[in-house]
Structure formats: structure tokens, C-alpha cells
Amino acid sequence: MSNEDRLVSPVPEPGLVQRAGKFAGWAARTGYSLSKRLPGVEAAEKGLRQVERIALGELRRRLDEVDDPYLAALSAASAISPQNEDNGKRSESVVIVPARESDPLRAAMAELLNRSLGFGKERAREYLYAIILRQLTPDEARILSALSDGSPFPVVDVFERTSLTGTGRTVLRNASTVGKAAGVSLPAETPSYVTRLVGLGLADLDEEVDSLATQYEILLTDETVRAAEDSVKRAKIVRRTVHLSHLGTQFWRACDPAAGPA
């Protein structure tokens, strides 16, 4: 195997990550069960579970192929012998950068650069979406699903009010009703989930929406918000909204388990 081959790792074929997760994700999201709809309950459930296991297995296998470039570079570095280390040369199709065990960060960057040469738009998009998908928690996936119709949800930040500037330290950021609406397992972690989704570029924060006045009032009675207010002498509430970003919309369109095959 050449140095070029060692530095270039396999990537998923376009669409396979989405297709592998369609059935399994849809079944989990909708709570699909044949037991209440069809005769032959046990056989139907057994068949459904088998198909779901196959789909999940394929999804896991495909995601595993989108490996960590840092680990891939370390593996490549360990496979290059010292006598060949300085013989790296530039290929017309692949940029060869010596992957040294003593400099794994540079080797990992070389790994990404080498991969980029073989990527078209679809493969690059598939890689990006797969990497994002691997970072999401199940609760965050539920929130994305709740945001997927484009509707905004109320968000509040709690600050400590000061006499000089009016706003002091941040006590709570990105509390929202979207967590409970999505049915997350850890509602108290909704502020963290929203913050992470914004950080991943999947959601955007915007200005307060007057039509959500009732939902804001409900949010202000949330235990997490009330605890944040009680933790300071004087609290200042800032109202905002959260909705899917452009990237989030494109990502959900590609990964939506309820949609048809890509």
C-alpha cells in the first residue's frame, strides 16, 4: 500500500447515511408499532425490529467510515517507516504531507487536505452532515424535529441587573419551551441543547415575537428560569426566539427520517 493510500480514508457514498437512517429514525420518532394495527402481533413486531436493527447497523457502519481525521492521521503516521518518511512527493491527485508521529496535529490537517481533493459537492455535503449527525444527542434531534416546520419558539436569557450598566453577568442563557414541546428526556438541559444547536449552526436566535406572548409567560414559570431569577437580587429578562437556520433546514431536509428516500 502506498503513502497516498494510507492518507486517504474511505468516505460514505452520497445519500447512504440518509437512506440508512430513514426507517430506523422514523420508527423511533413516531413510536411506530404494528402490534395495535395488524393481526399476527408477535411476528409483525419481530419483523419490524429486525428491519430496524439492519437499518441502524448500516447507519452505524456508514458513520464509522467518516472517521476522525486525527485518529486516521495517527494510524497513517505509525505505518510510515522512518526511512520513507522524507520521501513524500506531490501527486497530481493527492497532496502528500509526511504524517509524523511527533506532530499529529499537522498530520491530521494533512489528512483533511488529502481528502478534500477527492470530494465533489455531494460527497462534501454528505461528510459535513454525517459529522454533524455524530455530534447530536437524541434530545437535540427531537428539538430539531420540533423546529423543522419553521415555527419559532420563545427563548429567554436571565441577566443580573446592576445599577450602573443595567445588565451584569449572564445567569441563564437560551431557556426555551422547545424542549418540552419536543418531549426531550432532560427538559432542564434545554438551554444547553439550544446553545449547542446554535453553535453547530443548525439554529438561529432572533428577536422577540409578539404573537408568542402566552408562551413567554409559560416559559417564565419554568423551574430553571425561576431558579435563575431567584439566584440574584435583581434579574433582567431578555426575550428572543429560536428557529432553524439555513444550514439546519438543509440538514433536516437531508436527514428527515419521515421523508422519502434521497
Do 71 and 180 fall into the same domain? no
**Interval 69-94: pLDDT, tens:** 655 555 554 454 344 444 444 444 44
Do 46 and 92 fall into the same domain? yes
Do 196 and 128 fall into the same domain? no
Give me the CATH number covering residue 231. 3.30.110.190
Among 200, 229, 214, 199, smallest CA distance to 153 is for: 214
Q: Which residues are CB-contacts of 86 (< 8 A; sequence separation ≥ 6)?
A: 98
Do 92 and 155 fall into the same domain? no
Type of residue found at 148 = S
What's the pTM?
0.66
Expressed as residue numbers, the domain containing 195 is 138-255
Do 51 and 89 fall into the same domain? yes
Answer whether 204's CB lies under 8 Å from 198's CB: yes
Q: Give the whole-angstrom CA distance, residue 33 versus residue 107.
A: 48
What Rg, from alpha-carbon coordinates, does the chain have?
Answer: 24
Do 78 and 90 fall into the same domain? yes
In a domain, 197, yes or no: yes
In a domain, 261, yes or no: no
Do 87 and 110 fall into the same domain? yes
Assign residue 97 a region: left if phi > 0, alpha if psi is -120 to 50, beta otherwise? beta
If one counts the domains in the chain, the total is 2
Answer whether 230's CB lies under 8 Å from 172's CB: no
Q: Give the whole-angstrom CA distance, residue 7 versus residue 75.
A: 9
pLDDT at residue 201 is higher than 60: yes
**Interval 151-176: pLDDT, tens:** 999 999 999 987 766 677 899 999 99
Maximum C-alpha span of the chain: 71
Do 53 and 106 fall into the same domain? yes
List residues bridging with 159 in a β-sheet: 170, 236
In a domain, 98, yes or no: yes
Q: Give the whole-angstrom CA distance, residue 255 versus residue 175.
A: 26
| pLDDT band at residue 258 under the 50/70/90 scheme | confident
Do 25 and 120 fall into the same domain? yes
